[in-house]
Structure 1
């Protein structure tokens, strides 16, 4: 496959990924269907459990062939299938973190027969010990009060105080409600804040991010905003058009003009 960088391929991920060169991606960000019956304009989120896990293994094996030895994978899941998928991935990679995305869902009703589910689970996996990871790019700044409290001479000039702290494995970032300025017409759109953190930490500048399930295109947008390349796949042609629109809306310095959306055959 030629001219595949910074392109959206509107087709089945497993088939499309097979055409990419091996070992080209620095980072894979995967937000696959959770198999909860969501409407993505097709039946991709409605499978029997065994079929879903078999399909997951198939796309994982296809995608991992495209990852560099120093590469990483982030995968979004829920508690329903994360145990099985994590075990499967541990047979192929090294697990570094289980990240909890607290969606900041307000306490309004919910089931009376179980606890309300208000988080997504994210697995962070790497290929090798020397995987790329830039913690300084994603440090969280300390507030003024914290810096003031650390005013003793032993803290003056301390790198950790000036640059901020390492993000924890619980990420409290609001989901994109209907009125949110980022919100696009997609049922499970992820916030840019989360995806950009992954890109900055785990893909070097000028590197390549692979997303097998682009959905609303947040990974593509985040990659271009962070001066990284991307390649991605999306089955629904309406979402492919949405991604193209979001990329076109980027500022010129994000090189939106270089992106091309390939329509379904």
Structure 2
């Protein structure tokens, strides 16, 4: 299923299959939040519904589960290497990849970035602030990460923007439209790395927060989502931005 618009195009289905049908060197950046597959240290735990892995029992608002969050480290490396290779092909020379991840899968996804041919440029920190739930005898799980890379050398003269390496933004459960959705203000900050008028691709768009941030900053957006419910939500949400 494909839904076109003058400012965005949405696809419903498997990310890898959709990516293989996109034209080469057609987007300026891939900004995405793939399934982390990190909700448990055991295969039995990984196979649990995502709501059971990522949503606290005290959370009153329940959101639909999402698919694809079951791989171990080796499976995740093979899978991420495949879709990142296709993202590399569809990104213009000098274009960017930004992918969210947590500490458990951080080493694995940095391997996948390099296997897929990207030039690994660094790690951006999302500081979720002290509002995160504390755990006795441990450091607060206060940060997630954005691994970023480029297709070949960076073209800094094209868009000489300077952005911070740490973004402080509290998660707001009441604003979430996806179980692991990122704050809109965070995504609005990250898409500033893309040149004005550029095209942003998100092969795991969820509720399309990256798409909303892209459109509001004057960029084009291409999104893909496997879960039909979230695809419908993304479609409705982006239609409201036109």
Settle same-fold status: TM greater than 0.5.
yes
Which sits farther off after the overlay, 10-19 or 238-247? 238-247
Give matches, 1:219-238, under 5 Å: 219-238=210-229
Aligned residue number for residue 71 of structure 2: 47
How big is the shift at 1:105? 4.0
Aligned residue number for residue 190 of structure 1: 182
Aligned partner of 1:62 among 70, 86, 98 = 86
Structure 2 residue matching 1:198: 3-state secondary structure = helix
1:172 maps onto 2:168 in alignment: yes
1:242 maps onto 2:239 in alignment: no
Structure 2 residue matching 1:171: 3-state secondary structure = strand
Aligned residue number for residue 81 of structure 1: 105
How big is the shift at 1:15? 0.3
Structure 2 residue matching 1:168: 3-state secondary structure = coil
Aligned residue number for residue 90 of structure 1: 114
Aligned residue number for residue 131 of structure 2: 106
| RMSD of equivalent CA atoms | 2.3
How big is the shift at 1:176? 2.3
Q: Matched residues in 2 for 1:247 and 1:236: separation?
A: 16
How big is the shift at 1:125? 0.8
Question: Given that residues 134 and 141 in structure 2 are in contact (C-alpha distance below 8 angstroms), is that contact kept between their aligned partners in structure 1?
Answer: no
Aligned residue number for residue 25 of structure 1: 27
Distance 1:195 1:109, change over 3 A: closer
1:122 maps onto 2:146 in alignment: yes
Question: Given that residues 185 and 216 in structure 1 are in contact (C-alpha distance below 8 angstroms), is that contact kept between their aligned partners in structure 2?
Answer: yes
Which sits farther off after the overlay, 219-228 or 103-112? 103-112
Aligned partner of 2:11 among 9, 12, 31 = 9
Q: Matched residues in 2 for 1:2 and 1:239: separation?
A: 14
How big is the shift at 1:107? 5.8
Distance 1:89 1:228, change over 3 A: same
Aligned partner of 2:192 among 197, 200, 222 = 200
Q: Please list every run of 5 or more consecutive structure 2 residues that lacks an aligned counterpart in the other structure.
A: 40-49, 52-63
Q: Deviation per CA, 1:153-197, whole angstroms, max 9, x where unpaired?
A: xxxxxxxxxxxxx4431111111222xxxx243111112222222
Distance 1:167 1:209, change over 3 A: closer
